[in-house]
Structure 1
Amino acid sequence: MSAEKLSICIIGSGNWGSAVSKLAGESALAQNEKFERRVNMYVYEENYEGRKLTEVINEKHENVKYLPGIKLPENVVAVPDVVEASKNADVLIFVMPHQFVRKTCHLMKEHIKKTALAVSLIKGFDLHPETKGKIAMISNLIEDILGIDCCVLMGANVAPEVAKEQFCETTIGCKTKEQGYLLRSIFEKPYLRVKLCFDIDTVEMCGALINVIAIGVGIVDGMRQGHNTKAAVLRLGLMEMVKFGELFIQDCQKITFFESCGMADLVATCYGGRNRTLGENVVNSDKSIDQLEKDILRGQSFQGPLVAKEIHEILVERNIVDRFPLFTAIYKICYEDMKPTEFIDCLRHHPAHKFSRKSRPSIFFY
């Protein structure tokens, strides 16, 4: 990193991207000896009430479409061209639907600083013919295309609550303390506590899998089941997350699941996230997921169904579908017309209820 002031760019402008721009903009103003004043936010251009969304954001200092009612710092500037927004940045904060990352990075790769540091707040995996049967992290995809290091940030961070400065925690997965300290100086606030963690892949994996489990909780809500049933989904979902990490993440550390990126994010997403809302609507509506996405999110994306599909393809390739019945059931409800009422049977017959005397001692029994 240069000794000169550092420039920050946000790649993405949904509700979470806009909330993050508030954090970054305030940090740039408060630490003017360290950061450039201007913080660019790449905004996919669209019309809002007959005007360009970027123009409205820059005039009102508010993302009126995706984070209404929250004022953004005046030093946050909406830019409709991702190359223009990112070309001079020292810190690139990726906050966009994971299916668009590959294309976006290819647009950026010839123009960014090779000394820049990226951080991904994106929940999902990269499915590509070259990665068939493997877990391909979005952070690795960013690194491979851009040729720079990429850290991750995941946690119990429902965007509107962060934007309203309600207390929360988050986890930054990083390779070095220097990277972690830099990113913490951008994200940490009195109401947002940051924990650094070197188990990057596990931190990122948690963020992706949690959205799938949240669909299951929403299905339980849609069926008018109670808190006991939701608790079972949370517990069994966490166990499948841990098992998934043991199989696919080298040196996966179970303690990471008890950081904000793990258990806390699981609870927050399953009670207050958009994928929980999707699960509930899957039960109570005959509309497709695509139509529900248009009706509920107004241009944003449910990431849970796509991640469920990605997980299922990997499990099929490895021939281990039967070891993840909760993930499999949610995939089938989303894509194969499995009846939501059958989800309770998945919980009832889950292998986690079995105990083997041959199992090695663990807090997880399957």
Structure 2
Amino acid sequence: MSNKVSVLVAGSWGTALASVLAANNLDVSLWSRNLEQVNEINELHTNSRYLPGITLASNIIATSSMKDAVENSSAVVIVAPSSAMREVSRELKKYWKNDMICIHATKGFETETLHRMSSVISEELGCDEGDIVVLSGPSHAEEVIRHCPTTVVVASLNKEKAEAAQELFMNSYFRVYTNRDMVGVELSGALKNIIALGAGMSDGLGFGDNAKAALLTRGLAEISRIGVELGANPLTFSGLAGIGDLVVTATSQHSRNWRAGSLIGKGTKLNDVLESMGMVVEGIRTTQAAHKLSIKHGVQMPITDQIYHVLFKERDTRTAVETLMGRDPKTEMENMRLDTWEQWHT
């Protein structure tokens, strides 16, 4: 197997994962369309826009050529924004070899089709979706790049490829578990960004810990409901990709989604928030996709619904909270279909 691994693209998370691979003595080819960024990485060993103050390993070589990035690689790690995933995968197809391992670490949906990222990639590469590996879990790029202890999960229906991905990434500070529930892992990673937006809004409104704890708990119930409806294992939502990623994204100022929500809670308009962030906030697009999915599948997602109306229908955040608190009385486990995954996967 080649010692070369490709990472597409050179954002904060892509660069952090490239750093993990480089620490494992792999030759890492980091692809970016931005020639100025490529030159900075190769000449200064920094990526100052996304990870300021960090020096990158010398075995991370950046390139603006997809061909040069992918050629002779044993694995390709795709970390493109969800909005660019189809375009990047289509370009990758030109140089793709069937013996390569495809790993993606993008947490979102294609809003037009409501497809998960593994579905988008498999359609463009012409490969079996079950052979793709999903990397997810509680992992801020800012901490991974500093070698803070981090634990993630890689999920695939192909056991051998999941274990190969585990071997590529695992080291003394980056622990990797395997999981066969691709659907649950992908859905968890995408949908928790909506709840993180809500947690940021709650903090921006000054509502305190009680409100945020309730939001995270009931948010996880929403994620589980739609996830099980779409074929996920309910146990996944209590694991690293589920509650683990939800907690880290909804409680930390490292989180773009939390920061965006906090600004909205303080009264900043969405367009102004996105302009000030300067980076992709996946939870915005995911809220649109999840709202459509909840309607399509008849699954109640009241928190998602209110956040959707705040983001896209100019609903006041306090009005959204009042609407949630004023809903009809419910039982806590209402509409939880815990038997669905077992029925579909036995």
What TM-score comes out, normalization by structure 2 length?
0.90
Q: How many residues align?
A: 334
The CA deviation at 1:350 is 5.0
Confirm or deny that 1:266 pairs with 2:246: yes
1:114-193 to 2 correspondences below 5 Å: 114-128=98-112, 131=113, 135-148=114-127, 149-193=131-175
Structure 1 residues 335 and 90 mapped into 2: Cα distance closer, same or farther (>3 Å)?
same
The CA deviation at 1:343 is 2.7
Q: Which amino acid aligns with 1:65?
A: R
Confirm or deny that 1:234 pairs with 2:213: no
Structure 1 residues 142 and 292 mapped into 2: Cα distance closer, same or farther (>3 Å)?
same
The CA deviation at 1:310 is 1.1
Cα-Cα RMSD: 2.2
In 1, Cα distance between equivalents of 2:333 and 2:217: 21
Structure 1 residues 356 and 65 mapped into 2: Cα distance closer, same or farther (>3 Å)?
closer
In 2, Cα distance between equivalents of 1:44 and 1:121: 19
The CA deviation at 1:208 is 0.2
The CA deviation at 1:199 is 0.6
For 1:240-297, what per-residue CA distance to the aligned partner results, in whole angstroms no more than 9, with x for missing partners? Answer: 0000112122xx211111211110100000012110110110122433x33322212x
Of residues 216-225 and 176-185 in structure 1, the stretch that sits farther from structure 2 once superposed is: 176-185
Q: Is the 8 A contact 1:11 1:92 kept in 2?
A: yes
Confirm or deny that 1:307 pairs with 2:309: no
The CA deviation at 1:87 is 3.2
SS where residue 195 of structure 1 aligns? strand
Q: Is the 8 A contact 1:12 1:94 kept in 2?
A: yes
Structure 1 residues 357 and 339 mapped into 2: Cα distance closer, same or farther (>3 Å)?
closer
The CA deviation at 1:358 is 9.3
Structure 1 residues 74 and 184 mapped into 2: Cα distance closer, same or farther (>3 Å)?
same
The CA deviation at 1:311 is 1.3
Structure 1 residues 190 and 329 mapped into 2: Cα distance closer, same or farther (>3 Å)?
same
In 2, Cα distance between equivalents of 1:45 and 1:208: 26
In 1, Cα distance between equivalents of 2:333 and 2:284: 36
For 1:188-209, what per-residue CA distance to the aligned partner results, in whole angstroms no more than 9, with x for missing partners? Answer: 1212211110011100110000
Counterpart in the other structure of 2:20: 23
Confirm or deny that 1:340 pairs with 2:317: yes
Of residues 159-168 and 173-182 in structure 1, the stretch that sits farther from structure 2 once superposed is: 173-182
SS where residue 110 of structure 1 aligns? helix
Q: Which amino acid aligns with 2:12?
A: N
In 1, Cα distance between equivalents of 2:78 and 2:199: 27
Counterpart in the other structure of 2:330: 354
SS where residue 280 of structure 1 aligns? helix
1:195-234 to 2 correspondences below 5 Å: 195-234=177-216
Structure 1 residues 317 and 256 mapped into 2: Cα distance closer, same or farther (>3 Å)?
closer
Of residues 187-196 and 260-269 in structure 1, the stretch that sits farther from structure 2 once superposed is: 187-196
For 1:335-365, what per-residue CA distance to the aligned partner results, in whole angstroms no more than 9, with x for missing partners? Answer: 11010002322431456x5129997897xxx
Q: Is the 8 A contact 1:45 1:54 kept in 2?
A: yes
1:78-93 to 2 correspondences below 5 Å: 78-93=62-77
What TM-score comes out, normalization by structure 1 length?
0.86
In 1, Cα distance between equivalents of 2:334 and 2:219: 23
Structure 1 residues 72 and 316 mapped into 2: Cα distance closer, same or farther (>3 Å)?
same
Structure 2 residues not aligned, in runs of 5+: 339-346
Counterpart in the other structure of 2:274: 293
In 2, Cα distance between equivalents of 1:239 and 1:308: 16
Of residues 81-90 and 160-169 in structure 1, the stretch that sits farther from structure 2 once superposed is: 81-90
Q: Which amino acid aligns with 2:7?
A: I
In 1, Cα distance between equivalents of 2:72 and 2:334: 57
Structure 1 residues 335 and 83 mapped into 2: Cα distance closer, same or farther (>3 Å)?
farther
The CA deviation at 1:315 is 2.6
What percentage of aligned pairs have identical amino acids? 26
In 2, Cα distance between equivalents of 1:338 and 1:268: 27
Q: Is the 8 A contact 1:212 1:327 kept in 2?
A: yes
In 2, Cα distance between equivalents of 1:215 and 1:158: 16
SS where residue 328 of structure 1 aligns? helix
Q: Is the 8 A contact 1:21 1:72 kept in 2?
A: no
Of residues 85-94 and 240-249 in structure 1, the stretch that sits farther from structure 2 once superposed is: 85-94
In 2, Cα distance between equivalents of 1:173 and 1:122: 13
Structure 1 residue ranges (4+ consecutive) displaced by more than 4 angstroms after TM superposition: 356-362
SS where residue 39 of structure 1 aligns? strand
1:70-81 to 2 correspondences below 5 Å: 70-81=54-65
Structure 1 residues 71 and 360 mapped into 2: Cα distance closer, same or farther (>3 Å)?
closer
In 1, Cα distance between equivalents of 2:99 and 2:192: 32
SS where residue 122 of structure 1 aligns? coil
Structure 1 residues 215 and 196 mapped into 2: Cα distance closer, same or farther (>3 Å)?
same
In 1, Cα distance between equivalents of 2:306 and 2:209: 20
Counterpart in the other structure of 1:32: none
Structure 1 residues 360 and 344 mapped into 2: Cα distance closer, same or farther (>3 Å)?
closer
Structure 1 residues not aligned, in runs of 5+: 30-36, 47-51
